[in-house]
Amino acid sequence: MIYGYARVSTDAQDLTGQLDQLKALGCSKVFREKESGATAERPKLKRLLRMLAPGDLVVTPAVDRLSRDTTDLLVIARDIQRAGAGLKSIAEPILDTTSDFAEVVLAVLGIAAKFERRRITERTALGRSQAKARGVKFGRKPKLTGHQRREALKRRDSGKETLREIALSYDVSHQTISRLKA
If 0-12 CB within 10 Å is exposed, 13-18 middle and 19+ buried, where does residue 112 land? middle
- Could you please state the CATH topology (level 3) that the domain comprising 2-131 is classified under: Rossmann fold (3.40.50)
CATH 3.40.50.1390 positions along the chain are 2-131
DSSP letter (8 states) at residue 41 = -
Query: Could you tell me which residues are beta bridge partners of residue 29?
Result: 3
Cβ atoms of 85 and 56 closer than 8 Å: yes
The model carries a pTM of 0.59
Q: For this structure, is 173 an active site residue?
A: no
Catalytic member of 9, 36, 169, 173: 9
In this predicted structure, what is the pLDDT of residue 35?
Answer: 83
Read off the pLDDT of residues 50-95 as tens digits, 9 standing for 90 and up: 999 999 999 999 888 888 777 788 888 889 989 999 999 998 887 8
